[in-house]
Each structure stands twice: as structure tokens, then as C-alpha cells.
Structure 1
């Protein structure tokens, strides 16, 4: 048979009321009894949010309170990278679904408080109608209470005897609030660190190391080392094209007398999990971890020269003494002026 038909699905579609649409999606809705989340169409069919942001918003809305929804936690949960997840979180934050604020705990530590609103407009209206109600921020956190409008004080009325007419008493004038005391800021001795903007051009990638001469023996050994990497790290599965491009880098290591086991250890240890681009990881390590050439005998020889003064025999007493030229020893040199006098 060319086409397999799902008999159960066919019967379920036949039980749907009304005619089926000629094209497009057909909903076969079964009522949930447990493990479900109500999601508004304003989020599921948002016209300005990306598909990643919509899916991430639905996922966050389905999580129980207290679940970590940071970039690191979401990256470990989904195959998308940190950049896409960070962009999706910023989209949800820009449209009012996500709110991230910095709050101070009672012990003085600063933490990030994340609040997800399933209906941003309704949440803002409810917050405006219930002004003064503190938002539950959890144990150990100093809550931030919205300012409560204070009614004007009712002037007190006193009755002076024996006149029955009330005499209004002016309301007390509150003392002026003291000016806030400026907190001294500690001056750092070092210069501030400048973070480059995201639009700044990236530095050019370092080229792959190249050997002085790619001999057939070096090519064969380098190809064998690259093809054998998946035996030691199952994540490093390289294609034939990747092996051909990376052969010069391994040959440069071999040309510098690096042992194959040392090359294999440098390329397979402490790999990121999961490694999405094995060829890029191998290329980066071959370039960044390239060892220097081994020094030769001339470089290892001591460069410090010791000046040796030769021994000379005194022309007068024939005693040995050190001097650069023949002559008299020190004792004879002292006696010559005395003998001449």
C-alpha cells in the first residue's frame, strides 16, 4: 500500500460536528483533565512576537512558581543558544509579559525578581485599582509597597464655653522632610571597563596553523588522528570535508614534535556539552593551543661566558701568577722600586 490510513483518526474526524474545512488545520480537541495550562490567544497569536518568544512565554506560563527561568537554565533545557533565548526574553519584556527587577533581600544581597503576567493589560489595570496592595515577593525579601493616597486631615473642632459656635482649628503643618544624606561613593583606582556594543565588529579569526611542508607522511598521520577522535569523544564526529580542512593544523603540531596522544588529549578533554559544532571546536583548539617549536641545542646552551685569566710565570722568581700578559708577580713588582732606590 502507498498510503497508510489511521483508522482511529478517521473515526474521530467523522464524529466532528459540521463539515470539515477543505484546507487548513482541523482541530481535534479533547478536554484536558489534568496537567494543562490556559494560554490566551493574545500570546499564542501575537502578531509582533517571534515564534521563539511565543513558545518561551507559553513554557514559562506553564511552570510552577519558584522555577528558575534564567538564561542559563533555559539554555540547558532547550536546544536554542543563549543569544536567541535572551532576545526572546527581551521581546516578552518589551510587550509587558515579563518583568525583571532587582530587589534587595533582608540580608542585604541583591537578587533578580522575575514576574510573568498572563494578561499584561489586565494586570496593569488591576494594579491601578488596588493601589497600596503589596506584591508577594517571597520570604526574605523586603517588599516594595506602592504609595497609598492619604486623605486630607479633617480639621478638629473645639467648642469654646459659653459660646456654642464651633471654632475651626487649622490643621497642623507637617515639618519639612530632611534632605537625603548623600552616600559617599567609593572611587575605584582603576579605569572603568568599557563593554563593546553588540554591533561592534568582531576581531578577525586567527588562521589555522600551517606546517612548513605538508609531506605525505604528515598528511596521513594527521588524517588518522582526526578520524580517530570519535573513539575517544563520541561528540567529535567530523566529516571528510572537515578532516581535509583541519589536516594542516594537526600537521603543524606534528611538525613541532607534538606526540599524537598529546594532540588527542588537547582536542577531546573538557568539551562543552552539548558540542554543537565539533569542527569549530577542533579548529579553535588547534589554533589557540598550538605549542611552540622545541628549542635546539644552541638555544639550550648556556649563553653566559666566564672570563678565565691564564697563568703566567714570573720572569724574576719563576712563581706562577694570573695575568693577561707575561711579567712579574705582585711580590716582585713591589721589590723592584725598593731595589732601584
Structure 2
């Protein structure tokens, strides 16, 4: 994969932004057409259901592992070079941040990635929540909330200045990461058949997983030939949302993968919704719904930065390369989401639906 001519023509920063745009387009189209949503899957689970949303999430989760581990086996990517693997991880951040994020996505009725997809279809509730998420994420990264985030994150960290590779510490051979991915994919397909999910939905669900692999491969390939250091990363929406917000607020912004990713997702979701005739303006039902959504966005913004990733960054991209803290964060997101649905939604309306 020779990208040197492309770099010579556009420059490294523009190529990074282009790769982000391509990854975002793939994610946005696939996520909109499949209605991929971790929040919806956790709500189904909390209510004793294993329906369409759970099948879609499991298929995305599993195919991301298969795509990424397959790319690694072919020499297109090396997970040890991924930024989230190469830096110190935080167990305490993953646990506390994961629970906060899980609770927040139930209150906001969507994780940060889902909010971006919905915003592109005309959902004004998601626009408001998404902007609040981005502001709080930036505050948690470099602003007033940064000291609190750093204090919690430093309570319990991974040893050796790096994160923990679950495949490496397990002593498993190369390619072993394909096994759990394929196993979960079989479960997802069984659920899909039981719920009579169409082939198109399944293809797009696996397309979300493909987008995660695409991001890893493209940024890794760029890092191999770039003169300046390049972060090997993939689809995630905590850091990129904050960085995209600041891109429009500072006088001399820097281009990069993050700056292409968020607009790419928005554009991809918009085009997919337009193609499916699903563009529709929607607003809040009232002040209580708006208050709930805003609180959820705040919890997600801080929780994602503390956990080291959102439902996509940690829950799909991070788990696909077996980053230990990403798996812990994902588990805690499930715990926080299920507990919030039990305590808030089911307590108020036992017959509520997983939308």
C-alpha cells in the first residue's frame, strides 16, 4: 500500500484528514443504515430481550475484531503501535468513566457516536446533546475538569508505561484474536436469524466494524512513512469531538485524522438518511426531556475522557485490538447503562421501549 505519492501531492496533515474523512464516511453510512447503537442494545438486555439492536451491536463488535485481527495477520496493521496501547492505561478511569458514560448514554438516549449520526438526519435533540458532549469533553481534556479527570485516572494505572495487551498476557499465538470475534459473530447471526433481520442490516452492521479496521489500517500505514509522528488511531468520538470543536475556535488550527472523522460521519449519515428518505427534523418533547439529555451529555463527555474512549472508541475500536482498559470500560458502560435503565426508565415506566 504505497501512499507516498498521495503524501507528496497533499501533505501529511491533509492526508491524515482525508483518511479520517474516509473512515467517517464509512462509519456514518453503515451506522445510519444499520441503526447501530450500544445504548439500545443495553436497554434491550436490561429488559430481558435479545432483539434486533442486540444482534446488530454484537455483529459490529465481533466483525470489528475479525476485520482488525485479519488486517494484522496480513501485515497491514500492528496493534502494538496503536496510541491507546502505547500509553499508560487507567483501570480506575476505565471503571468510573465507563459507568458514567453508560449512565449518560441512557439519559441522552444515545452514545456520542449515535448522537452524531442522528444529528445528521435532522434530530435537533442530538445536536444539542452532541455540542454539550463536545464542550464537556474539551473541558475534561484541557479545561476546568482536567485536574479531576487526571486525579481519578492516576488512582490505579497499568504498569510499565503501556496499556495491557490481553492477547499478549494470555500467551496466545498470533491470529488468536480471530477466534472470539468469529465466535461472537456466530452468536450475532443466530440472533439475527431469530429476529428475522434482513441481510442489508447485517451487511451495514459489519460495515461499522469495517470502519474501525479502516481507521487503524490507514493511520498505521501513514505512520510508517510520515516524517512527523502520527497517532495510530481509529473511530472514536471523545477526543475528535473536542478537537473538531476547537478547530473552529482557534485562529490557526491543525488538520489531522480527528478533523476529518467527525465531518465524515456527519456527511455519511446524512447521505444514507437522504437515500433512505429518513431525513426529518425532531426536537425535544419538553423541558424534562431536554434536562435529561443535557445531564446525559455531561456524564458522557467527562466519562469518555476518563475511560479513555467512548462506546465506539473503547467499545469497538479499543476492544478490537484487545486493549485491557478498553474491555473494562466497555463492561462498565454496560453496567452503568443497565443500572440507569432499571433505576430511571423502568422505575418510571416499566412498559417503555428501547428506542
Larger Rg: 1
Higher fraction of helix: 2
Q: Per residue, is there more strand in 1 or in 2?
A: 1
Give TM-score, length-normalised by structure 1: 0.15
Q: Considering Cα pairs closer than 8 Å and 6+ residues apart, tell me whether 1 or 2 has the greater RCO.
A: 2
Instruction: Give TM-score, length-normalised by structure 2.
Output: 0.15
